[in-house]
């Protein structure tokens, strides 16, 4: 049994707490002992995205204090996971920072590579489209990239295909950015929205009921566009699907 620290992104904590709850429940159902540090805060990614990574010292120190000594740190967000892997540092505790960078993993990565889950018992009788986040795909290698001549694979898709009743529909442009990009959607609003509309169009043409993915930030961006056009398509984090109807 692994002792796992649940790393909850700040926007999940504030806006989508059901994602953290589903992640916690799923990990416990799969036999993990889950620790949720109550003093965890922002990982510092917004500062790094804006070119001020050096100002995230307090975030780094707090993260080390909360997540040191665990077998793994699991996060339901590719972007936050990648930030810790690439940016966490400490002049006071360099060895602890290095250990945490090696132990932090994204949720679907943890399920497929560490727990090697191949028979989930969840139920979700709906037609679902999958959105690959850029950080998860190209930063964490959670799925294959269309620009590379290499065999296809997708860790999120492999998990979704284990869910009873779920019909998975992959878009043709399966690794196209949704336009969120962290602070990009603030500084390049028009471009960001156009990219999001392009992503949504293909999912709507596939007549999906839900769009899922491993980054609630991307889904939040798509959700805003869907609501403004009064679309019936909903967004849902992959943790919620994998945990749904679990026997």
State the CATH number of the domain containing residue 148: 3.40.50
Q: Among residues 83, 114, 145, which one ends one of the domains?
A: 114
Task: Identify whether residues 60 and 107 lie together within a single domain.
Answer: yes
Place of tokens 């609501």: 227
In a domain, 106, yes or no: yes
Can you give the pLDDT at residue 49? 74
Please count the structural domains in the chain: 2
- Distance from C-alpha of 110 to C-alpha of 104, rounded to nearest angstrom: 9
Q: Do the domain assignments include residue 180?
A: yes
What gap in Å lies between CA 47 and CA 187, rounded to an integer?
Answer: 14
* Residue 119 forms part of a structural domain: no
Residue 132: domain span: 127-243
Indicate whether 203 belongs to any domain. yes
Q: Look at residue 185 in the predicted model and tell me its pLDDT.
A: 67
**Tens digits of pLDDT across the chain (247 residues):** 899 999 999 999 999 999 999 999 999 999 999 999 999 999 988 887 777 877 788 999 999 999 999 999 999 999 999 999 999 999 999 999 999 999 999 999 999 999 999 999 889 999 999 999 999 999 999 999 988 888 999 999 999 999 999 999 999 888 888 877 777 766 778 888 888 899 999 999 999 999 999 999 999 999 999 999 999 999 999 999 999 977 6
Domain termination site, one of 114, 138, 173:
114
Contact between 70 and 5 (Cβ < 8 Å): yes
| Per-residue model confidence (pLDDT) at position 211 | 97
Evaluate whether 89 touches 60 at the Cβ level (below 8 Å).
Answer: yes
Q: Is residue 121 domain-resident?
A: no
Separation between Cα atoms, residue 70 and residue 27, nearest integer Å: 15
100 close to 65: Cβ distance less than 8 angstroms:
no
Spatial neighbors of 162 by CB under 8 A, at least 6 apart, are: 117, 118, 119, 120, 122
Is the same domain home to 42 and 142? no
Q: Does one domain contain both 110 and 138?
A: no
- Answering whether pTM is above 0.85, one says yes
Cα separation, 101 vs 44, in Å, equals: 14
Are 40 and 102 within one domain?
Answer: yes
């Amino acid at each position: 049994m692994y002792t796992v620290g649940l790393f909850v992104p700040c926007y999940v904590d504030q806006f989508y707490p059901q994602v953290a709850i589903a992640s916690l429940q799923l990990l416990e159902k799969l036999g993990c002992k889950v620790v949720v540090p109550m003093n965890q805060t922002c990982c510092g990614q917004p500062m790094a995205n804006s070119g001020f990574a050096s100002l995230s010292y307090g975030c780094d120190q707090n993260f080390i204090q909360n997540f040191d000594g665990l077998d793994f740190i699991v996060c339901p967000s590719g972007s936050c996971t990648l930030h810790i892997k690439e940016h966490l540092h400490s002049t006071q505790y360099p060895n602890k920072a290095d250990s945490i960078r090696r132990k932090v993993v994204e949720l679907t990565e943890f399920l497929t590579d560490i727990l090697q889950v191949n028979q989930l018992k969840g139920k979700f009788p709906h037609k679902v489209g999958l959105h690959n986040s850029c950080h998860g795909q190209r930063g964490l290698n959670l799925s294959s990239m269309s620009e590379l001549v290499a065999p296809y694979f997708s860790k999120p898709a492999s998990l979704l295909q284990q869910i009873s009743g779920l019909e998975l529909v992959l878009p043709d442009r399966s690794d196209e950015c949704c336009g969120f990009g962290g602070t990009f959607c603030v500084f390049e609003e028009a471009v960001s929205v156009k990219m999001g509309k392009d992503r949504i169009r293909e999912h709507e043409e596939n007549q999906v009921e839900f769009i899922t993915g491993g980054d609630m930030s991307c889904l939040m961006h798509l959700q805003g566009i869907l609501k403004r056009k009064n679309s019936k398509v909903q967004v849902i984090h992959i943790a919620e699907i994998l945990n749904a109807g679990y026997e």
